[in-house]
Chain A
Amino acid sequence: MAESDRGIISLMKGWYGTVYRGVKEIRGSLMIIEDVKDVRYEEVVRIMGPDGVERLGRVLEVSKDMAVVQILGDREGLEANCLVKFTGSTFEIPISDEVMGRVFNGRFEPLDGLPPVVSGDKRDINGAPINPYARVYPHDFIQTGISAIDGMLSLIRGQKLPIFSYSGLPHNVLAAQVARQATVLGKEEEFAVVFAGIGLRSVEARYFMEEFKRSGALERSVLILNLADDPAVERILTPRIALTVAEYLAFEMEMHVLTILTDMTNYCEALREISTAREEVPGRGGYPGYMYSDLATIYERAGIIKGRKGSLTMMPILTMPGGDLRHPIPDLTGYITEGQIILSPELHAKGIYPPINVLPSLSRLMKSGIGTGRTREDHRYVADQLYDAYSRGIKARDLAKIVGEVGLSERMRRYLKFADEFERRFLSQGVYENRSIEETLDLAWDVLSIIPEEELVRIPREYIETYHPKYRGVEVELP
């Protein structure tokens, strides 16, 4: 035995049983191993290169005497002459309530200098599908303190509501604000936050850590960080580890969990890389045809379950490649999630925070969480009227660019003014400004009062008479 091998073998703690030496081929992130026995589909593989570094892998395909293994982790330094050990189990992490307040990397190894989580309780990170019969339909309104979201895109406990953004826009700031301010009306419970950084730049990671520390949220958070310079294929694991932790906290520790996954685009890139290496027939944009189903196994882990007190609310963040909403990543995400919050570079350029373009944005569960006894009786109608008025205002703005403002009819001019005021007063707010839902709705009425009362056809008369500034006898500040 060569000297170097002895060194390596001493590193191989816990490598009991059959170890294979030498593989037939390493191609990209794939490894083909022949003359193997008793290999299971999707089981975890431990790989030791001559450099003495251990990597993990996963079986992608297996036949009687041959296995195709996906290498997770750094491929550099691997040679055909490496050692391989099949572990017999699929990807599992040990779990216990010790995870609270901890920081891990994308392989669930501690990054905070504390010892690893020890527990006899191990969970397959792929989870299992929630039986649709076991679900409870989400209906608890989460007040985020952000008018655009609370008023027009209400977030509901147990919902999966992504942010579609562009690189350079403040999606992280927005997500951190949501994490900081989210409360359920009338309930004192705070959210536990499970944060998955997927290919995150270290400045971004630091931003979140600091934000969580500052607001005291760190003790009730778990961070799983795969950084930009960590191996890309590990990104396949990161959100799944985070969700395994989140499910444990929500459905066993009975906590209300908010899970933030950022940036899912990096996840999808990793998925594409693997698919390409396997020479699969590529789908749209080179992404694999099964990306929809694959993403669903992540996003569908959000929800509420009968007989369990906790909930898993999910806010994935993704940057749209090329700023294109039709790109497969936002497109497939939108087909799975329960709505989307879309940020706009134009609003951002105008200095508006949060730069949410409400028109293409949507919260599908909003209807079940608002109204009488939940937020306020007029909420749904006010939101509807805001959408209608703002879309007319945008249309007027476009037209004004062609014919000039003087070319607009009296009515169109009013909608244009509405759009301006809506953006200036309703949409815009401070990063640390936390508005109650009443404040948000009252603000909405203030801007709606620019429009003649009889044109508010989406709001029942009785609510107009209750909440319209004219009837409330309040002075509205208008320029």
Chain B
Amino acid sequence: MERRGVIERIKGPVVIASGVKNVQIGEIVEVGEEGLIGEVIRVSMDNFTVQVYESTSGLKPGEPVLATGKRLVAELGPGLITAIYDGLQRPLEEIYRLKGPFIERGIKVNALPRDRKWEFKPLVKKGDVVEEGDVIGVVEESRLVEHRILVPPGIRGEIIRVEEGSFKVDETVAVIKKGEEEHNVKLMHEWPVRVPRPFKARLSLETPLVTGQRVLDTFFPVAKGGAACIVGGFGTGKTVTLHKVAMWSDTDIVVYIGCGERGNEMCELLTEFPKLIDPRKKVPLLERTVLIANTSNMPVSAREASIYMGITIAEYYRDQGYHVTLIADSTSRWAEALREISGRLEEMPVESGFPAYLPDRLAEFYERAGRVKTIGRPEREGSVTILGAVSPPGGDYNEPVTIHTLRFVGALWALDTELAYRRHFPAINWLRSFSQYADEVEKWWAKQFPEFPRYRRRALRLLTIASEIEAIASVVGEGALPDDQRLILLTAELLKEGFLRQVAMTGEDTFCIPEKQYLLVKMIMDFYDRAYVLIRNKVPIDEIAGLPEVFKMMRVKEDERGLIAVKELYKQVIEALNQIAGKYGIDLEEVIQVGGK
């Protein structure tokens, strides 16, 4: 029976309607003559409230409202990879082809193409007994992703039929029977986006997400399955940093949500990703990426939905046994969408106009990160790492979204306007940022480079001390400082310019492998130790600061010869210091051995 009602009132993206029995919160309705998509967000005795996902301009009271009985779902199956969707999972490429460059409303297009065929290879046979989450076969979705077809959650029984060959996503590839009930398994299934997908158990977080960005990997790492936020005012580098992580991190799948941000930034990803080649598999990085673009000028309520759409897709690949990185730029725009809808509902605002449930929504979102043992066989683990951008008004952290986000994430990458003004990128402030994953992932590093933890901590400490000395220097002038303090400033400068700063968009320095990260810190800190001994033995700082090797240390990260160049320079640095030592009759090696701090 059709469940049809009428519009009573229109107020921006919020529409009040009546005349449908038993509508449920979360039910999808079609609003008006054009059938605009909306979701029921409030019900009362005689009417219900709908958040409409498209522009309501021109709508009038009395137009029909059709309840669909469905919830907001994601279509999950082959065809997600390389796609670009809006917040409701409508494929933007297809929409462009059908309607041209501007987005009209009321468009209905399937998320997964129905005409494309996929080669399905079964991994089960007739008679096998399967349970939810079991892999029944695979499809090569892209050259980087083998798409594993799972028994959908909630289904178990005996395989009574299984196919092999070429299939469309909505064709049956296997039939599972339990008792009298038969269930057709297709290449795709649907999942309500606001409900987390099930898993067996949470696992501890141990492995870092290697991003190739030195300041992140070495100093403020995020673990696979963890959550980090990058916070900063406009133009401080949130998007560029997240783009780089999306490009270079050692993850299987990237789900990138452009949530209320710029159209050109999504266009940049679409233009760049096909050109960037996965260093390991030599295939364009786009072939492991799903893009969701609900830009700032697209409807606000669909922006709210985009986050859930993205995380559901991420969980789906996790369930297949992959490490997934979910990037949301910017979660502040999502929170603002919540605020706007809440305002139209005339809910009581608490802080800065945000509804009281803001912290809960943020917590629920970040809770969906994790490394898990998935349901189903063969036994496998997968993870979802969440990286969220936060855009605080006026760059001031003392605001609800920043404050609450910091309660739910394990790492903060704090961007700094001063650094950005100096074009020190990534402008991540090394004093303000933190990572709770550092201790765990240090073990991963130490397995390859036993001394890494020590160098890391010393370098961080040196940077902290340097900032205190800088504060003094800004009052008395650097010239008035004792030489040992000037050496600390010099070393800090080496760390900033030669290690932390990483701006290249192409070439050697776009990505820095862990070994090179280690060797660079080691070189700079070993330089410091030796130079310290020299200074203690009355060698003037200017003699050390003027060494050509010092300037070379600032540039060697970009040398196209990579590791070789760093190793070569390391020798030269030690050699140069030894020479000075020789000139002053100091035996450096011995002092280092004995007094090695």
A interface, CB within 8 angstroms of B: 38-43, 61-64, 89-90, 126-138, 158, 251, 280-284, 289-290, 292-293, 296-297, 300-301, 303, 305-308, 326-328, 331-332, 334-336, 338-340, 359-360, 362, 364-365, 367, 384, 387-388, 391, 395, 398-399, 402-403, 407-409, 412, 454-455, 457, 460
Contact = CB atoms under 8 A, between A and B. Distances in A.
A329 B149 CA distance: 50
Given A281-B353, A303-B263, A409 B477 contact: yes
B333 interface: yes
B262 A62 contact: no
Contacts of B478: 409, 412
Contacts of A326: 393-396
A326 B271 CA distance: 33
Nearest to A358: B421
Interface string B28-60: 000000000000000000000000000011111
Contact of B61 (A39, A308, A336, A338): A39
B59 to A, nearest CB: 5
A16 B136 CA distance: 67
A336 B455 CA distance: 40
A364 B238 CA distance: 12
Contacts of A158: 264
Contacts of A408: 477, 479
Contact of B554 (A63, A133, A412, A457): A457
A327 B396 CA distance: 12
Contacts of B479: 407-409, 412
Given A130-B102, A281-B349, A340-B234, 11 more contacts: A64-B9, A131-B102, A135-B264, A282-B353, A297-B297, A301-B297, A306-B101, A339-B235, A340-B235, A454-B551, A457-B554
A131 B497 contact: no
Contacts of A251: 101
Nearest to B419: A391
B75 interface: no
Contact of A133 (B96, B300, B391, B394): B96
Interface in B433-478: 474-478
A359 B103 contact: no
A335 B57 CA distance: 26
Interface string B396-414: 1000000000000000000
For A89, A282, A284, the residue with the greatest tally of chain B CB atoms inside 10 Å of its CB is A284
Contacts of A388: 422-423
A132 B267 contact: yes
A92 to B, nearest CB: 11
Contact of A328 (B93, B297, B393, B503): B393
B389 to A, nearest CB: 11
B296 A293 contact: yes
Q: How large is the interface on B (under 10, 10 to 19, 20 to 34, 35 or more residues)?
A: 35 or more
A340 B233 CA distance: 13
A251 B100 CA distance: 12
Given A137-B271, A457-B554, A365 B60 contact: no
Contacts of A359: 421-422
Interface of B: 8-12, 16, 56-62, 84, 92-93, 95-96, 100-104, 233-235, 258, 260, 262-264, 266-268, 270-271, 293, 295-298, 300, 333, 336, 339-340, 343, 349, 352-353, 391, 393-396, 417, 420-423, 474-480, 497, 503, 505, 548, 551, 554-555, 558
A97 to B, nearest CB: 20
A306 B92 CA distance: 14
Nearest to B63: A40
A89 B60 CA distance: 11
29 contacts: A41-B10, A62-B9, A64-B62, A126-B57, A130-B103, A131-B102, A132-B258, A133-B95, A133-B267, A135-B263, A135-B267, A158-B264, A281-B343, A289-B339, A290-B340, A290-B343, A293-B340, A296-B295, A300-B295, A300-B296, A326-B394, A331-B233, A334-B234, A362-B420, A391-B422, A403-B475, A408-B479, A409-B477, A460-B558
Contact of B353 (A138, A283, A332): A283
Contacts of B349: 281
B10 A61 contact: yes
Contact of B102 (A129, A283, A402): A129
A359 B418 CA distance: 9
For B56, B235, B271, B548, the residue with the greatest tally of chain A CB atoms inside 10 Å of its CB is B235
Q: 8 smallest A-B Cβ distances: which pairs?
A: A296-B296, A326-B394, A63-B9, A134-B101, A334-B234, A300-B297, A135-B267, A128-B102
A341 B377 CA distance: 57
Contact of B421 (A290, A308, A360, A399): A360
A301 B297 CA distance: 9
A85 to B, nearest CB: 16
A420 to B, nearest CB: 18
Contact of B101 (A38, A40, A61, A131): A131
Nearest to B59: A41
For B96, B396, B503, the residue with the greatest tally of chain A CB atoms inside 10 Å of its CB is B96
Contact of B295 (A132, A138, A339, A364): A132
A387 to B, nearest CB: 4
Contacts of B475: 402-403
Nearest to A365: B264
A359 B16 CA distance: 50
